[in-house]
Chains A and B, each alone.
Chain A
Amino acid sequence: MSGASGEIARFDNVGLRYGQDAEVLSDIGFSLHAGHFYFLTGASGAGKSSLLRMLYLAQRPSRGVISLFGTDAITLPRDRLPAFRRRIGVVYQDYRLVPHLSAFDNVALPLRLAGMPEREVAQPVLDMLEWVGLADRMHARPATLSGGEQQRVAIARAVIGRPELLVADEPTGNVDPEMAVKLLRLFEALNRLGTTVVVATHDLHLLKKLPDSLIMRLDKGRLSDPTGALRYPPRRHFPVESGQ
């Protein structure tokens, strides 16, 4: 971890309900600090994905305040949201690659959306595919890739813009244990380079692989460890998070 202490994201008293139903997330408050590696744990249906959707600006909360990169994301004008989203990389359990695009074009998509000249796109995409070990599959469509390969393409797509925050929602849910560890190592490598990483998982075995990570636990829509100070395995002295 980089050890940087700047606040990347902050949730204050955030609640989320869909329609007129009861809140699926209630009184969520936490902060994420630059350069840290966070696990978000909780049983299926605890609200991990909903929380992450708010974190990567795909869902507006029903109440509360969310600040990202020091800016109030709730009142942010709509036309400024894309620039903020480009600072966040997202990895999904179901990969969500564009099915009609090759691995190369999927990874290139964030650069093209950002307006990078076409002549400058190829090299970073090739480098990124090389990094995830898929340079030889650059022309393959997602349907012809294995689950692990698809997830590596998705990770390459998420990090090619070198986001300040990487959010992964059950990224290892659809891959075998060996591949899950490899993917986790990719996240760890990215984190070592300064990117703040948040990985939602209900797989406690993954937590053991990164004992220095911080853990936030969601239980029935409430964050049971809002400081993110809980470690696995627990330590005697919890680090103190500023502002909490």
Chain B
Amino acid sequence: MSEEKLPGRVAIPEGGARGGWRALGGGVLVPQARLSGPTPWVIAIMVALTVIAVATGLVLRNIANAAAQDVAGGVTVQIIEAQAPKRQAQARAAVRALGAVPGVVSARLVPQGEVDDLLTPWLGAGGADQDLVPVPALIDVRLDGPAGPARVAALRAAVARVAPAGRVDAQSGWLAPVFEAMDSLRWLAMAMVALLAAALAAAVLLSTRSALGAHRATIEIVHNLGGTDSQIARIFQRSIGIDAALGSAAGLAAGLAAVLGLGSRFGALGAGLIAGGALGPVDWLVLALVPVAAVVLAVLTARVAVLAALRKLL
């Protein structure tokens, strides 16, 4: 040791490093377990479940929107008359009367063949014997806008004048319980996303606290050497950010695999309400943003946790 020859004074900048980890030289100040630790895997599971929940919510929204557009301007008129000649006469009169109502784009008497097709699942391929099982005549009415109560009332009045056996129903009214059920499922999906985000934040909080505990001595050293709270927080933010990025990528892959698998299964059903639920480009973009949001949430949670812990030090 050369006690007398202390090296010259160095010019130390005021204010502290702003570059965080890089400014600290990139050394292993706080070593990380990475994929051998639990944090990335917990985040992966959370992100996978979130992707599935978000996808479910988007599919339900798409189904509801498509179905709502389909039936919004639709009205069905039934002529419920047991005697076939009278039923047909009233049906034709109703079609004429409906065509004269303002706002009606079309009023179509549904052919008997289509009615038989609709009833095939219940009555068999032969259809109904018109004498034994009288089936109402159906008129499919299309309006130029939504079938609100006032417009339905006007249609009822027009039908009542020429077809006493007529019954007018807005198609949206039939599907209202279905829409309500879909709304409930969408809220459930959103609640799941919120809960999963909270669980992700809690997992990151625990992980950060654990890391803070494990590296408390190093933190105190850095603190006493003049390290700022932000510098120390950035070290942990970076660490959690990398864990979250790794976990999110794995979670996104697993979540998308599940969504695509379920999509192909439901797609095979081919028709009905499900057909309108396909995910569009914007929906896929939303799913791709889930891991980004997870990383941002994890980093912010880590920062808040570290700064709160550091405030307990002087």
Residues of chain A whose beta carbon lies under 8 Å from any beta carbon of chain B: 56-60, 78-79, 81-83, 85-86, 90, 96-102, 105, 108-116, 118, 120-121, 124, 127-128, 130-133, 152, 157, 159-162, 182, 185-186, 188-190, 193
Contact = CB atoms under 8 A, between A and B. Distances in A.
B225 interface: yes
Contacts of B229: 78-79
B280 interface: no
Contact of A100 (B24, B28, B220): B28
Contacts of A97: 221
Contacts of B30: 100
Given A58-B314, A83-B15, A105-B27, A113 B227 contact: yes
B131 interface: no
B218 interface: yes
Contact of A113 (B4, B17, B220): B17
B228 A188 contact: no
B217 interface: yes
Contact of B222 (A109, A121, A162): A109
B10 A124 contact: yes
B6 A113 contact: no
19 contacts: A56-B224, A58-B223, A59-B314, A86-B226, A96-B217, A109-B225, A110-B226, A111-B10, A112-B25, A113-B231, A114-B13, A116-B13, A127-B7, A128-B7, A131-B6, A133-B1, A133-B2, A160-B10, A188-B3
Contacts of A83: 14-16, 226
Contacts of A81: 314
A162 B9 contact: yes
B202 interface: no
Contacts of A110: 12, 225-226
A188 to B, nearest CB: 7
Contacts of B16: 82-83, 113-115
Given A58-B314, A86-B225, A109-B222, 15 more contacts: A60-B314, A83-B226, A86-B226, A112-B23, A112-B25, A113-B222, A114-B226, A115-B16, A115-B17, A131-B5, A161-B10, A162-B10, A182-B1, A189-B6, A193-B6
Given A100-B27, A100-B31, A112-B23, A185 B226 contact: no
A133 B29 CA distance: 24
B23 to A, nearest CB: 6
A214 B24 CA distance: 37
B17 to A, nearest CB: 4
Given A58-B220, A82-B227, A185-B1, A114 B6 contact: no
Contact of A116 (B12, B218, B224): B12
Q: How large is the interface on B (under 10, 10 to 19, 20 to 34, 35 or more residues)?
A: 35 or more
A114 B25 contact: no
B86 interface: no
B238 to A, nearest CB: 15
Contacts of B31: 100
Contacts of A96: 217, 220-221
Contacts of A128: 7
Contacts of B161: none
Nearest to B13: A115
A112 B225 CA distance: 10
Contacts of B311: 78
Interface of B: 1-10, 12-19, 23-25, 27-31, 217-218, 220-229, 231, 311, 313-314
Contact of A101 (B14, B17, B27, B223): B27
Nearest to B25: A112
A186 B6 CA distance: 9
B227 to A, nearest CB: 5
B6 to A, nearest CB: 6
A114 B28 contact: no
Nearest to B22: A118
Contacts of B226: 82-83, 85-86, 110, 113-114, 161
A60 B224 CA distance: 13
Contacts of A130: 2, 7
Given A98-B29, A190-B6, A132 B1 contact: yes
Contacts of A193: 6
Nearest to B14: A83
B225 A85 contact: yes
Contacts of A152: 1
A81 B30 CA distance: 23
Contact of B2 (A98, A101, A116, A131): A131
B13 to A, nearest CB: 5
B73 to A, nearest CB: 63
Contacts of A133: 1-2
A109 B30 CA distance: 13
Nearest to B9: A162
Contacts of B227: 82, 113
